[in-house]
Amino acid sequence: MAASLRGTSLTSCSSSLSSDTDDDGVRGTCEDASLCKRFAVSIGYWHDPYIQHFVRLSKERKAPEINRGYFARVHGVSQLIKAFLQKTECRCQILNLGAGMDTTFWKLKDENLLPSKYFEVDFPTIVTRKIHNIKSKPPLSKPIVELHSEDSLKIDGHMLDSKRYAIIGADLRDLPELEEKLKKCQMNIHLPTLLIAECVLIYMTPEQSANLLKWAANSFETAMFINYEQVNMDDRFGQIMIENLRRRQCDLAGVEMCKSLASQKERLLSNGWETASAVDMMELYSRLPRSEMGRIESLEFLDEMELLEQLMQHYCLCWATKGGNELGLKEITY
Ligand SMILES: C[S@@+](CC[C@H](N)C(=O)[O-])C[C@H]1O[C@@H](n2cnc3c(N)ncnc32)[C@H](O)[C@@H]1O
């Protein structure tokens, strides 16, 4: 069992949010997630020429089950994003909540799949770091400048606003502040909107995540929410994960909502969303296209399949919709 917790860092997700010191633990998970993504990219799990500009390559090798876990996570989230973009023909906006060093904006631009506007939100200190990287690395700044027809690109320490991309420093638990900042960056409540929370809600108390989900459902006429995080946390594996993270000053404040796929769906349905679906990551992994599975499994030898299964059964991908019948949003599935 202890060996199975080689997988704990797949999460990079955790923490209680009651004081500023606790928030440091949460902010630290941004580094964990980007290091793991960069490592998996470096050995060929997926293509991402941008992550290298945000984080150094880890000296420490990540375990194969972690790399496969990240592959499934990135693949699953990306499939849902593309389904939403296809249904809305890209006439939509995306809000990536707790985006950290996520590179989806640049990858969508390369695939000619950008929404009308792509917003990212994270704590101000994380945003400051991201903006610094964007400003100092031409492969990151060029695509933003290219898309920006006027000469009013706005950048200050905690905020960047351009025609198609905005990055905002804000606390997701302070909804009036969040809304005000998004509106300043021309968020349009009438556009179909996709909200993404990848390993983020678990850092919030159940009340705080419920408020965020309610705010999202009430703010937009047509919307979809993607949530990736832990599930089945009531068992021994879950307990060890909680303890390991607590030792790193990270409490899983929202773990109560991660009991089961049913509790994950129920949270969405009881906070204003009309449909909710959820799949655990082992199920998602087993549904990967054969060719992709064959390709990634040939990258590294995994000694015990059980390690992968245990880990993947403790993560899930959930999605919910509101409105959008005419677009077919409710048909979106993994
Ligand atoms: C585990 S990282 C995931 C980053 C990114 N979503 C990914 O998957 O690569 C969690 C991110 O959520 C952010 N976050 C957590 N709680 C937040 C809050 N209350 N307000 C703003 N950002 C928050 C953290 O700063 C961190 O960047």
How do residues 211-234 score in pLDDT, each as one tens digit?
999 999 999 999 999 999 999 999
Closest CA to 37 of 64, 59, 55: 55
- Residue 173 domain boundaries: 21-331
Kindly report which listed range (8-22, 76-90, 251-265) carries the lowest average pLDDT score: 8-22
* Higher-pLDDT residue of 66, 247: 66
Given pLDDT bands bounded at 50, 70 and 90, which one contains residue 151? low
Q: Flag whether 6 is in a domain.
A: no
Residue 29 CA, ligand 1 centroid: distance in Å: 7
Given pLDDT bands bounded at 50, 70 and 90, which one contains residue 14? very low
Chain centroid to CA 47: how far? Answer: 17
Q: Flag whether 322 is in a domain.
A: yes
Residue 99 CA, ligand 1 centroid: distance in Å: 6
Would you say 276 and 265 are in contact if contact means Cβ atoms under 8 Å apart?
yes
- The string of DSSP codes covering 163-190 is SSEEEEE--TT-HHHHHHHHHHTT--TT
Q: What is the pLDDT of residue 249?
A: 87
Would you say 215 and 171 are in contact if contact means Cβ atoms under 8 Å apart?
no
Given pLDDT bands bounded at 50, 70 and 90, which one contains residue 20? low
Q: What is the pLDDT of residue 200?
A: 97
Q: What is the pLDDT of residue 260?
A: 98
Strands 315-322 and 223-230: antiparallel
**Each residue's pLDDT tens digit, 115-139:** 999 999 999 999 999 999 999 999 9
Q: Flag whether 249 is in a domain.
A: yes
Kindly report which listed range (120-129, 146-155, 240-249) carries the lowest average pLDDT score: 146-155
Q: Flag whether 148 is in a domain.
A: yes
Percent of all residues in the chain with a pLDDT value above 90, rounded to a whole number? 84
pLDDT value at 254 more than 80: yes
Task: Indicate the annotated binding residues.
Answer: 73, 98, 171-172, 198
Give CA separation, 265 vs 72, 226, 237, 291, 302, in Å. 20, 11, 22, 31, 32
pLDDT value at 17 more than 80: no
How many domains does the chain divide into?
A: 1
Question: Residue 317: which H helix or E strand, with range?
Answer: strand 315-322
Chain centroid to CA 279: how far? Answer: 16
- The string of DSSP codes covering 57-123 is PPSSPPPHHHHHHHHHHHHHHHHHHHHHHHHTTT-SEEEEET-TT--HHHHHHHTT---SEEEEEE-
Strand partners for 120: 96, 167
pLDDT value at 194 more than 50: yes
Cβ–ligand 1 contact at 140 (below 6 Å):
no
Q: What is the pLDDT of residue 25?
A: 87
- For residue 79, what is the domain's CATH number? 3.40.50.150
What average pLDDT does the chain have?
92
Q: Flag whether 5 is in a domain.
A: no
Given pLDDT bands bounded at 50, 70 and 90, which one contains residue 156? confident
Cβ–ligand 1 contact at 95 (below 6 Å):
no
Q: Flag whether 7 is in a domain.
A: no
**Each residue's pLDDT tens digit, 60-113:** 999 999 999 999 999 999 999 999 999 999 999 999 999 999 999 999 999 999
Given pLDDT bands bounded at 50, 70 and 90, which one contains residue 251? confident
Q: Name the residue type at position 266.
A: E
Residue 315 to residue 284: CA distance in whole angstroms? 10
Q: Flag whether 9 is in a domain.
A: no
Q: Report helix, strand or coil for 153.
A: coil
Q: Name the residue type at position 269.
A: L
Task: Indicate the annotated binding residues for S-adenosyl-L-methionine.
Answer: 73, 98, 171-172, 198
Closest CA to 257 of 182, 194, 307, 206: 206
Residue to substitute in 37, 107, 123, 171 for testing ligand 1 pocket (most ligand atoms within 8 angstroms of CB) = 123
Q: Flag whether 1 is in a domain.
A: no
